A and B are shown apart, each in its own frame.
Chain A
Amino acid sequence: MPSLRDIRRRISSVKSTQQITKAMKMVAAAKLRRAQEAITKARPYATLLEQSLTRVAARAGTEESAAHPLLASRPVKRVELVVITSDRGLAGGFNSNVVRRAQRFLTENADKYEEITLSTIGKKGRDSLKARKVALRKDYTGVHAKLSFDKAHEIAGELSARFLSGEVDAVFLLFNEFKNAIAQVVRLKQFLPVETGPAEATASVDFLYEPSRTELLADIVPRHLEVQVFRALLDSAASEHGARMTAMEAATRNADEMIGALSLQYNRARQAYITKELSEIVSGAESLK
């Protein structure tokens, strides 16, 4: 039986942990709101760009065989998987879900492709993949610290260059897709070659293009790729805060439960101590008679 002082010490330790988890939950909630806003703000551009891409690519594709080198698919021998995680932990299964999915991808596709290279965005994914002795081609650092479109530009540019030079034949992004504040889904998305949707039926009017359709497409495709990376990063950021909020909420609740149980134990011990004292006094007085 632990002494009264031990129990008291444990209660205060759990209480201070609870204070931290409570604070983290509130911080995550505030950050989540901001991240969600960023997603909403980025949406119009992405939607409009995708429409333009579909329109231009559909028309360009009928004339020339491949509308743009980044749209051209070829036999896939070498693939690259870009694993997006967060820089910080304490977010429930947020990072480990992605890492586990990445490993599954590696084992499932080991025979299918000649070579699979991995690159990571986010410290957590890098560290746990390294710990599992998985070779990484590249780690993009400092992306999450200040999430900007420039970073997406840089990453998309490098991946495209590797695709164009023939170092890889396909690139996939693996990240947590943001569903809502409590749900994230690990999503594997083909990044390169670019898949364009079917041409809309209303595209009967022909556009005038300046300088030319091909040149416009050469301008739109890289932008589209940047947007894809940017969206994945934004989604991952929002998911991270959502996951952390849920995890910290659960931790706070668990701490409450633990404090309850410990208080009960403390009171029982105290009661037992008093009873013991009393019976000692009584028996002491008894023997004096």
Chain B
Amino acid sequence: MADLTLEIVTPERRVATLQADEVRAPGVLGGFGIRKDHTPFMSQLQSGRLTVVDGAREVHYAIGGGFLQVADNKVMVLADSAEEREEIDVERAKRAFAEATERLRSLAEGDENHPVEAARVRRATARLEVAGR
């Protein structure tokens, strides 16, 4: 039990250091899970939900991009932002979601701001998902 040590850090602070049996993360090529003795691995992450399973307990974090590294049963998540459920400002996320969706709709597919707004939508979605609406 609790075979992995997980560290979540953002540029501004260390968010959490915890023990886990399994970590599920939103990779850019799709979600993936990590368990004991995973091969050394490094992946870019997109905005989404990071789930930490420890025994029967599951903790969720809304993360806004970054990357993850596993080696020797140590998982390091270097995220641009990371919030636990209680820390999320739901009102703000809702507003951000509405605004970004609106702007995204008005932009053409090839517009240079398109990916920026799309990333905003994803970030807000991740927050709302973790907060459970």
Complex-state Cα separation, A206 to B69, whole angstroms: 12
B6-20 residues at the A interface, CB under 8 angstroms: 7, 9-14
Contact, CB under 8 Å: B42 / A44 = no
With A and B bound together, what is the CA distance between A152 and B27 in angstroms?
25
Cα distance A170–B10 when bound, in Å? 28
- Interface size grouping (class) on chain A: 20 to 34
Which B residues lie within 8 Å of A258 (CB)?
Answer: none
Contact of A42 among B12, B43, B76 (CB under 8 A): B12
* A44/B14 in contact, CB under 8 A: yes
B78 and A49 contacting across the interface, CB-CB below 8 Å: yes
Out of A148, A152, A207, name the residue touching B41 (CB < 8 Å): A207
Is there an interface contact between A149 and B12, defined as CB atoms closer than 8 Å? yes
Are B11 and A210 closer than 8 Å at their CB atoms?
Answer: no
For the complex, give the distance between the alpha carbons of A152 and B39 in Å.
34
A41 contact from B13, B29, B32, Cβ within 8 A: B13
Residues of B with C-beta under 8 A to A206? 40
Asked whether A57 is an interface residue with its Cβ less than 8 Å from the other chain, the reply is no
Q: For the complex, what is the distance from the CA of A206 to the CA of B40, rounded to whole Å?
A: 7
- Bound together, the chains give a CA A56 to CA B67 distance in angstroms of 13
In chain B, residues 59-94, which have Cβ atoms closer than 8 Å to a Cβ of chain A? 67, 69, 71, 76, 78
B28 contacts A by Cβ under 8 Å: yes
Residues of A within 8 A of B (CB): 38, 41-42, 44-46, 48-49, 52, 56, 148-149, 152, 205-211, 215-216, 219-220, 223, 226-227, 230
